[in-house]
Amino acid sequence: MDIYKDKFSEDVGSFFRSPVREIFKKVDLNAIYSFAGGYPSAETFPLEEIRRTMSEVIDKYAGKAFQYGATQGVPELRDAVAKRYGVPVDRVQITSSSQQGIDVCTRVLVNPGDVVLTSNPSYLGALQSFCSYRADIRGVAHNEDLDVFRQAYEAELRQVKVEGKKVKFLYMIPDFQNPSGESLTLEERQMLVSLAQKHDFLIVEDSPYRELRYEGEHIPTMYSLDPDRVIHLGSFSKIFAPGFRLGWAIAHPEILDKIYVCKQSLDLCPPIFDQYVAAEFLSSGRLDENLAKTIALYKGKRDLLLSLLEEHMPEGVRWTRPEGGLFLFLTMPHGFDAVKFYDKALDAGVAYVAGEFFHPDRSGKNTMRLNFSFMAPERMTEGIRLLARLLTAQS
């Protein structure tokens, strides 16, 4: 419409649509073999225990469960999160989804043109948020050689300095990254934290998958390495249920205070009833009981996907072997274009997310992200057979 021609803000020009969400608008996920999305398996939602917990919350809190509440989150949930992660409660802000955590951090830290450093590839929803505030996003590729990895970051930091720009923060998913499935070693975390100290920027550590570890030992969070410089974001979406849209931010009270004031005008407070349900679920031990089952289920699915790839993928295709999380990352031979291939795959009935979308520099054209949490084993098996057949025909 003509009347909207000059109405929108400058930020709007930098918004971009999630290609993942656009896929979901077009197809019914249950009608195809979907390795796209980061949906938990619906099997992991303990319906009867949730029903019981909801009824208990109504008995225990009555009207209070449906009233307005504190902007920081209800005390019961803040306490439960603080206890679980061993941090003081004044360092806990409940967020209306961990996506909101990313967005509000960007809002309180970034001016247009400020640099946000991240991995290349990185989480799409975070890139959307950074873009929407007109941040200058610089992605640095991982390298298994720690010195080479550090030098890549140092080169980018020099370049930013030459351009007279400012790095506001580094955004990282150190555990079972979305999209790659890979984790940072302790040495890599230490290296990045010391770069942040030396070059004086903050770190936003996004950690929605951390508790979904299927093998190996937990690695200390980046937050634990410098609790004043790192903002740690967590989520109930992968350890409980995404439908409640609840997450948390753990940070120095001075940072949380800005987030708190911002959140007043964003949405006043997180959903109250949902917070009480999450608090009851956590403090009663039901969350941990259910999480153990989720981990066992997903470990089986990861193992299945790895063995299916081994069995069916044509030569020249490589993939990551994540120790946890929901995703692995496939690399096809050079020259393959996963965006172009996508329509063919979808026509045949199988969906993935092209890796290019996760790369701020638009590289990674020959990569794709596969999710292994959503589909049932039989469907995953048929889906990989189909995808492998299509890729073999292509090569």
- Per CB under 8 A, contacts with a second copy among 239-298 are 241-245, 252, 254-255, 258, 261-262, 264-274
CB of 139 to a second copy, least distance (A): 17
Shortest Cβ distance from residue 318 to a second copy (Å)?
Answer: 29
Residues 355-374 that bind a second copy (CB under 8 A): none
Query: Closer to a second copy at the Cβ: 128 or 207?
Result: 128
Query: Least Å distance between CB 351 and a second copy?
Result: 15
Residue 330 contacts a second copy per CB under 8 A = no
Find the binder of a second copy among 62, 148, 186, 296 (CB under 8 A).
62
Listed ranges 66-74, 76-84, 156-164, 377-385: which one lies at the site for a second copy (CB under 8 A): 66-74
Taking the complex as a whole, the smallest distance from the CB of residue 115 to a second copy amounts, in Å, to: 13
Per CB under 8 A, the list member of 33, 34, 116, 125 interacting with a second copy is 125
Q: Tell me how far, at minimum, the Cβ of 54 lies from a second copy, in Å.
A: 5
Smallest distance from a second copy to CB 283, Å: 19
Of 103 and 356, the one with the shorter C-beta distance to a second copy is 103
Applying CB under 8 A, does 222 fall inside the site for a second copy?
A: no
* Residues of this chain, 72-91, that bind a second copy according to CB under 8 A: none
Piece in contact with a second copy (CB under 8 A), picked from 15-23, 76-84, 153-161, 329-337:
15-23
In the bound state with a second copy, the residue whose beta carbon lies nearer, of 98 and 320, is 98
Instruction: Kindly tell me which of 242 and 355 has the beta carbon lying closer to a second copy.
Output: 242
Find the binder of a second copy among 93, 97, 221, 366 (CB under 8 A): 97
* Site residues (CB under 8 A) for a second copy, limited to 31-50: 37, 39-40, 42-43, 45, 47, 50
As measured in angstroms, the least distance from the Cβ of 377 to a second copy is 17
Three state DSSP letters for the chain: CHHHCCCCCHHHHHCCCCHHHHHHHHCCHHHCEECCCCCCCHHHCCHHHHHHHHHHHHHHHHHHHHCCCCCCCCHHHHHHHHHHHCCCHHHEEEECCHHHHHHHHHHHHCCCCCEEEEECCCCHHHHHHHHHCCCEEEEECCCCCHHHHHHHHHHHHHHHHHCCCCEEEEEECCCCCCCCCCCCCHHHHHHHHHHHHHHCCEEEEECCCCCCECCCCCCCCHHHHCCCCEEEEEECCCCCCHHHCCEEEECCHHHHHHHHHHHHHHHCCCCHHHHHHHHHHHHCCHHHHHHHHHHHHHHHHHHHHHHHHHHHCCCCCEECCCCECCEEEEECCCCCCHHHHHHHHHHHCEECEEHHHHCCCCCCCCEEEEECCCCCHHHHHHHHHHHHHHHHHHC
Other CB atoms within 10 Å distance of the CB of residue 198:
10
Smallest distance, Å, CB 270 to a second copy? 7
Rounded CA-CA distance 129/360 in Å is: 12
